[in-house]
Amino acid sequence: MIQVDISNIWGELSLRDLLAIEKEVFDAHAALTDGTGAGADFRGWLNLPLREPTQEITRVQNVAEKIRSDSDVCVVIGIGGSYLGPRAAIELLQGPNRNMGKGRGDPQIFFAGNGLSTRHYNELLGLLEGKDFSLIVISKSGTTTEPAIAFRGLRWLLERKYGTDEANRRIYAITDPVSGALRQMAQQQGWESFVIPPSTGGRFSVLTPVGLLPMAVAGIDILAVLNGAVDGKEAYDLRSFENPAWLYAAVRNLMYRSGKAIEVFASFEPGFKMFGGWWQQLFGESEGKDGKGIFPVPAELTADLHSLGQLIQQGQRNLFETMLRFDPPEKQMTILGDVQNLDGLNYLEGKTMDFVDEMAFQGTVEAHVDGGVPVITMDCGQLDDRKVGELFYFLELSCALSAYVLGVNPFNQPGVEFYKRNMFQLLGKPEIS
């Protein structure tokens, strides 16, 4: 179980505050499980964790094996909830440089359609030159502009390279079971396709084929991920503050009520950056509405202590921090002695880098708490495929509870339409009747 430690926030809130909000968290959890809260039709993610593979999961595994065996590169096209989850899992487990030296058998995985940058697209075309590749195109609505543009270009490239029939065997679509342009195209062209359940919104879809297919292509054991999520589902059903999801949801709301409107979500792992991005979308899009919401800021430590550290330490006191820790890896790096000792590091001779990391963590928590930044710590244990599934479920549940306590619908995102409306008007998009 993930341990949430709130011992470093007692200066900011009292036990009485915590007890006072308990009933609200209880009601939020009941509303979520009973389906009496806002957006109740979008709670399908609660039932995604699985112990045994379904036919669909086996098909995901088989398709992943095919892509691994016939492609040097797999391009995953999608944006928002159709992009961040798989990238978060892959980079957290395999590191931000996982593509280096990869190819047929364990393909490189690139992401496209998550923006409109021509430079990014051109770079990708360069990376695909002379490579065998496949496309996974993900869009729940099947109509999102950014992935649709990237897909149109990459599909043309694929068809030019392989001809239409083989190209169609190298395109995999993940979309709504019935509606949307992508479903229609998949049916027409005979692409192998997977379903995003209508009851599961984009940012809660990482445990559907949206996250699982790219993860499986990366060689991640998706059954272990799903099993980890089941463990989470069972463990975090507790209806008390012994449930760390309750504690996290409650403390976030108490912090917000006391004027802390920004949450820094930090870890000491560089591979965590994209996971932080996934968390940012999950909480930002779920809570930021009706004039409310905590602004979510992911951070990578210690790197960001040399960029955000000054502001966190001494800037406006309107933030709190959540720090994640994982157990140390098995393979350790020991700091060597040096006869000259010009860098003055000999006092660390024989110590591991992990020991220094731990001291940096403790020192940072102490400094930030002294500086008036309450710090929640999450001890996540061993980082592996299973843990990632548990972490996804834990944060999704915490987010839904937190949003209900905040008094908003966690499952809609009406604000996202505004930029699209303006963009379509400027582009002269014809109305579809």
Catalytic residues: 285, 306, 420
Q: Which is nearer to ligand PA5, 206 or 365 (CB)?
A: 206
Strands annotated E in 292-420: 295-300, 319-325, 375-379
Helix (H) or strand (E) holding 182: helix 181-189
Q: 110 and 127 in contact (C-beta within 8 Å)?
A: yes
The answer to whether 298 contacts ligand PA5 (rule: CB under 6 A) is no
Which of 263, 285, 321, 385 lies at the binding interface for ligand PA5 (CB under 6 A)?
Answer: 285
| C-beta closer to ligand PA5: residue 203 or 386 | 203
Q: Which stretch binds ligand PA5 (CB under 6 A): 120-128, 201-209, 252-260, 293-301?
A: 201-209
Shortest separation between residue 175's beta carbon and ligand PA5, angstroms: 8
Residue 142 Cβ vs ligand PA5, minimum distance, rounded to whole Å: 7
CB 172 within 8 A of CB 191: yes
> Is there binding between residue 141 and ligand PA5 (CB under 6 A)?
yes
The dihedral over CA atoms of 151, 154, 156, 160, expressed in degrees to the nearest 10, equals -160
Q: How far is the CB of 203 from ligand PA5 (least distance, A)?
A: 4
Residue 168 engages ligand PA5 in binding (rule: CB under 6 A): no
Q: From the CB of 286, what's the least distance to ligand PA5, in Å?
A: 9
d(CA 339, CA 183) in angstroms, rounded, equals 66
Stretch touching ligand PA5 by CB under 6 A, among 134-142, 155-163, 363-371, 394-402 = 134-142
Size of the site for ligand PA5 (CB under 6 A): 15
Per CB under 6 A, does 144 bind ligand PA5?
Answer: yes
Residue 201 lies near ligand PA5 (rule: CB under 6 A): yes
Residue 37 as a binder of ligand PA5 (CB under 6 A): the answer is no
**DSSP label at 352?**
B
- Smallest gap from Cβ 145 to ligand PA5, in A, equals 9
Point out which residues pair with 138 in neighbouring strands.
Answer: 174
Q: Is 382 in a helix, a strand, or coil?
A: coil
3-state secondary structure of 205: coil
Compose the 385-424 pattern: x for residues touching ligand PA5 by CB under 6 A, - for all others: ----------------------------x--x--------
How far is the C-alpha of 343 from the C-alpha of 340, rounded, in Å? Answer: 8
Closest separation between CB of residue 147 and ligand PA5, Å? 6
Give 325's strand partners: 379
- 232 by Cβ neighbours in 10 Å (0-12 / 13-18 / 19+) ranks as buried
**79 interacts with ligand PA5 by CB under 6 A:** yes
Q: Output 231 or 396, the one with its CB closest to ligand PA5.
A: 396
Asked whether the beta carbons of 105 and 44 are under 8 A apart, the reply is no
Q: Which residues pair with 171 in a beta bridge?
A: 135
From 49, 202, 214, 228, residue interacting with ligand PA5 (rule: CB under 6 A): 202
- Which amino acid appears at position 295 of this protein? F
Angle, to 10 degrees, between the axis of helix 385-406 and the axis of helix 244-257?
A: 40
Q: Which H or E run includes 267?
A: strand 262-267
203 close to 282: Cβ distance less than 8 angstroms: yes
Q: By CB under 6 A, is residue 293 in contact with ligand PA5?
A: no
Task: Answer for the pair 369, 8: CB distance below 8 angstroms, yes or no.
Answer: yes
- Whether omega for the bond prior to residue 364 falls within 30 degrees of 0, making it cis, is no
3-state SS, residue 84? helix
CB of 140 to ligand PA5, least distance (A): 4
Span interacting with ligand PA5, options 98-106, 200-208, 227-235, 252-260, rule CB under 6 A? 200-208
Among 81, 211, 232, 244, binds ligand PA5 (CB under 6 A): 81
Residue 82 binding ligand PA5, by CB under 6 A: yes
Q: Does 80 bind ligand PA5 (CB under 6 A)?
A: yes
Chain contacts with ligand PA5 (rule: CB under 6 A):
79-82, 139-141, 144, 147, 201-203, 285, 413, 416
